Structure 1
Amino acid sequence: MRAMAGMWRWRRNPLRRRTDRIEAWVALTAALLITLGAPSVGWLTGQAAHGALLETVRLQHAQRHLVWVTVDRLVSRTPLDPDPETSSERDAHRRVIARWTAYDGSLHTGRLASPRPVEPGERFRIWTDHGGRVMPRPMDVSTAGTHAVLAGLGAAAAAGGLIEGGRRLAVWRLRVRRYRRWDEEWERAGQDWGRAGAGS
């Protein structure tokens, strides 16, 4: 509030230059755009992203199906790896050859990663498309909402950054112009300005 009062008094100051007035208007415009424009951009982007992601959720749930697979055999186990950073031992217990019936009734056999250690004959569920190809789990509504919020926040931050970048560029151009005018005025004043007996 004190800054606003100072700006209000500054507008009547006789030392105020035209570039000062332009700089103040640029700052005010940028503040309004950041305060009102950036959240609006974020909200609109989030809404658009949420709509698109909900459509993706709907399509994925329509095109992917949970089916039961039966383990035929385990994939040959690799030797124990002493490095705790690798997961070869864990993966060796979870790689299996299994068979399943797709949503369209076709039979499939393939190598899969099981969600837990299993033995031959055990069953677990996987996601497949209509033709039986293994697919990732479909996106759920809460994940879509989270992604939409992140997209909105990112768009708002990007809009705010662009506005602030534009303000800084405009202020920099005004300063360059101001310094150029000062240089021109100093050249017009001459080298001996202010000396005694130089006619000033």
Structure 2
Amino acid sequence: MRAAAGVWRWRHNPLRRTTDLVEAWVALISVVLLALAVPTAGWISAVRTDASLQRTVQAQQRLRQPATARVIRLADTPASGFTSPDPAGEQPLRRSVVARWTAPDGTARTGTVTTRRELADPGDSFRIWTDRSGRPVAPPMPPETAHAHAIAIGLLTAGLTGAFVEAARRGVVRRLVHRRYRRLDRAWDKAGPDWGRTGAGS
């Protein structure tokens, strides 16, 4: 990591400039932030995201109930909602069917839902999820999926925080370098006309 390279500027020597000392402080602060603030930001973000997602999971588990649907026939039109627990990447392997199931209140319901192709023949049964009124809904999010999303958010937050710290360090160092160049230009403008002349101290 280049941020630590500025630490050598702590050394006492007659050529050390004020900007060198400032750059050393910037490097030290950057190292501390990268070591402490970055993982802390990622951890806090992951914990808060996981808590929020777990509340969502619990709410979905309370409001959504599993039911067994039985295929009546193939549907003429596609199902209007995603009701199968299969991964979204398996959508081409599903069929829309007209099925019958029992709502949480005990009433029989009939509607168009999706199921795997091997369970699309009349008489086949499969599991769906319904809301309290018996309408098909997507299955609740698994707790493991919520944990995975929270970890991903935490890593993303840590990465963005680290990038911000490094960008800030580079910005400060760039300004310091420009300041050194301006001072060097002014010194050269002052000494340049007498450079190499006898008695000019060259």
TM-score scaled to structure 2, two decimals?
Answer: 0.81
Matched with 1:165 is: 167
Mean alpha-carbon deviation: is it higher for 100-109 or for 31-40?
100-109
Residue 28 of structure 1: how far off its partner (Å) = 0.7
CA distance in 2, matches of 1:16, 1:104: 81
Residue 199 of structure 1: how far off its partner (Å) = 3.7
Matched, 1:38 2:35: no
Q: How many corresponding residue pairs?
A: 183
Residue 46 of structure 1: how far off its partner (Å) = 1.0
Deviations 1:43-89 (A, max 9, x none): 11111111111111110100111011121111359xxxxxxxxx86x
After superposition, where does 1:3-152 map in structure 2 within 5 Å?
Answer: 7=8, 11-75=11-75, 90-91=93-94, 94-117=95-118, 118-152=120-154
User: Could you tell me whether the CA contact under 8 Å between 1:106 and 1:131 is conserved in 2?
Assistant: no
Unaligned stretches of 5+ in structure 1?
Answer: 78-86
User: Could you tell me whether the CA contact under 8 Å between 1:41 and 1:159 is conserved in 2?
Assistant: yes
Secondary structure of residue in 1 paired with 2:150: helix
Which residue, out of 152, 163, 175, partners 2:177? 175
CA distance in 1, matches of 2:200, 2:115: 96
Percentage of matched positions with identical amino acids? 42
Residue 147 of structure 1: how far off its partner (Å) = 1.3
Secondary structure of residue in 2 paired with 1:114: strand
CA distance in 1, matches of 2:111, 2:194: 92
What letter corresponds to residue 174 of structure 1 in structure 2?
A: L
- Backbone CA RMSD of aligned residues: 2.3
CA distance in 2, matches of 1:140, 1:123: 23
TM-score scaled to structure 1, two decimals?
Answer: 0.82
CA distance in 2, matches of 1:175, 1:134: 64
Unaligned stretches of 5+ in structure 2?
Answer: 78-90
Residue 14 of structure 1: how far off its partner (Å) = 0.6
Matched with 1:84 is: none
What letter corresponds to residue 113 of structure 1 in structure 2?
A: T
